[in-house]
Amino acid sequence: MARKTVERNISYDDIRKIYYVSMDLGKDKEGRRVKRYQTYRTLYAARIGLRDFLTHREQELRAPKHDLTLADWLESWMDNIVRPTRAETTVYGYQKIIDNHLLPGLGHIPLLKLTPMDIQQYYIQVQQNVGLCSNTLRRHHDLLSSALRAAVRQDKLLQSPMDKVEPPRAKQKEASYYRPEELKQLYTLLEGHSLELPARLAGSLGLRREEICGLKWECIDFQRQLLSIKEARTAFGATILQKETKTRSSVRTLYMPDDVARLLQTELTRQDRLFREGRLKEPGQFVVLDHKCLPYSPNALSLAFTRFVRKNDLPRVTLHGLRHSFATVASFQGVPLFDIGKALGHATPATTGKIYTHLVDHTHEDTLLKVSDALK
C-alpha cells in the first residue's frame, strides 16, 4: 500500500513522496459525505494546510446567515440600541446622518457583503459630490464604527469592515477669539445692551452658549458670589430641550467677579419688575431672556450676538468664540492649562490643549524665552 495514515486527516504516499490532507466539506444534497484532498511536500506544510482549512471551515460554520441590508441594520440599531440609551440630541444627529447620507450611499448593500472598499469609496464620493469636510465625515465614520461593532456583538457580522477602513483625518479648527484689549472694547459697546449679560457669562466665566441659555436663578448664590453649572439648553431641529450638562466634568461651580454679579443682580431686579407688570409669566426661572421674555435657544442667542458684532464692525468672533477668549485671557495672565480646563468644564488638560492649541503655543513660547533669558 503506497499511502499510509500519518496522523488524523494526514496520510503519506511513500512512492510519490507527498503528503495528502483530507478536507471534510460536509454532506451534499443527497446526504453523501464530500471530501477534498490537498497535497504537500512536507509534513509541516501539511499540518499548516490542515489547520488553515479547519479554521476557515469553522468560520464558515459560525458565519451569520441573513439577508439584512445596511439600511435594515441601521434601523434596528437606532431603535433597539441608540434611542433607549442616548440623549435625544445624539439620536437626532445620528438620524440626520443616516437619512441624508448613509442610506442613499450605502443602505442598499447587504450587511454581509459590505466591504472596507465600499466605505472608503463612500467617503470619497460624499466629499467630492456633497462637499462635506473631513471633520463632518469623521462623524459618519464614528457612527458606522459604533453601528457595525454592535452588529458583531449581536452576531450579525463576524468582523466589522470598519476595522480595515482608513478614517477621515479630522482637522482641528483654529479657534477665533478676542485678545484682552478687544474683549474690553466689546464689553464697552455692550453696556446697557440685552446681550451684555450673556456676553459676560461667556467671556468672563467661559460658559458654553447652551449653559448660558439653560442657566436658572436657583443656580446663582449672590451671598457667596458663586454660579453653578448643572443644566444646558440644547436644540435639535425645532425642538428645544433642557437637559443635563454635556459631560460630568461640565458640572462645576464658578466664582462670579463683581461686575458679573452686579449684572446678574440688575437682571433679577428687571425680571421682578416685568413679572409685576404682567409681561413675564414665570419669575425666577431662566437668567437670560430674549425680547419676548422667553428663554433663548442657543442658535437664536448666537445669531443675535453675530448680528451685533457685524453691526459694530468688530472682528468676526462668535458667541462661542468668547469662551475661547476667556481661555486666552486666562492663559496670558499665567493661569495653568489645568485650571483653565477646570473652569471650562473639560475632563482633562489634554482636552483643553487639543482645542486651544494657541494656548499651548503661548505657554511654549514663554518657556523658551525663560530658558533663553537664563542662558544669557
Q: Where along the chain do its domains lie? A: 3-62, 70-164, 180-367
Amino acid occupying residue 216: K
Q: In whole angstroms, what is the distance from residue 147 CA to residue 177 CA?
A: 37
Task: Yes or no: say if 240 and 234 are a contact pair by the CB < 8 Å rule.
Answer: yes
Task: Yes or no: say if 116 and 164 are a contact pair by the CB < 8 Å rule.
Answer: yes
H or E stretch covering 190: helix 180-190
Give pLDDT, residue 63.
61
Residue 261: alpha-carbon gap to chain centroid = 34
**Residue 86 in grid coordinates:** 442616548
Give pLDDT, residue 241.
80
Give pLDDT, residue 310.
96
Task: Yes or no: say if 157 and 149 are a contact pair by the CB < 8 Å rule.
Answer: no
Q: In whole angstroms, what is the distance from residue 365 CA to residue 368 CA?
A: 5
User: β-strands 220-221, 226-229: how paired?
Assistant: antiparallel
Residue 262: alpha-carbon gap to chain centroid = 37
Give pLDDT, residue 358.
55
Residue with cell 445620528: 94
Task: Yes or no: say if 326 and 202 are a contact pair by the CB < 8 Å rule.
Answer: yes
pTM, two decimals, is: 0.67
Looking at the DSSP assignment, which residues form a beta bridge with residue 252?
229
Amino acid occupying residue 14: D
Task: Yes or no: say if 208 and 320 are a contact pair by the CB < 8 Å rule.
Answer: yes
Amino acid occupying residue 149: R
H or E stretch covering 38: strand 33-40
pLDDT tens track, the chain, 376 positions? 578 888 988 999 988 899 999 888 777 778 888 888 899 999 999 999 999 988 887 776 666 778 899 999 999 999 999 999 888 888 999 999 999 999 999 999 999 999 999 999 999 999 888 888 888 899 999 999 999 999 999 989 989 999 999 998 866 666 688 988 999 999 999 999 999 999 999 999 999 999 999 999 999 999 999 999 999 998 877 778 888 876 777 899 999 999 999 999 999 999 999 999 998 888 789 999 999 999 999 999 999 999 999 999 999 999 999 998 998 888 888 888 888 888 888 877 666 766 665 555 555 555 545 555 655 5
Give pLDDT, residue 373.
60
Among 186, 192, 216, CA closest to 329: 186
Give pLDDT, residue 372.
52
- Kindly report the CATH number that applies to the domain delimited by 70-164: 1.10.150.130
- Kindly report the CATH number that applies to the domain delimited by 180-367: 1.10.443.10
**Residue 234 in grid coordinates:** 440644547
Give pLDDT, residue 330.
87
Give pLDDT, residue 187.
96
Among 189, 186, 215, CA closest to 201: 215
3-state helix, strand, coil in the chain (%, to 5): 55, 15, 30
Give pLDDT, residue 225.
94
Burial of 223 (0-12, 13-18, 19+ CB in 10 A): exposed
Amino acid occupying residue 325: S
State the alpha helices, DSSP H only, in 279-356.
298-311, 319-332, 337-344, 349-355
Task: Yes or no: say if 249 and 345 are a contact pair by the CB < 8 Å rule.
Answer: yes
Residue with cell 449684572: 263
Give pLDDT, residue 357.
56
Q: In whole angstroms, what is the distance from residue 9 CA to residue 346 CA?
A: 61
**Distance between start and end Cα atoms, the chain:** 92
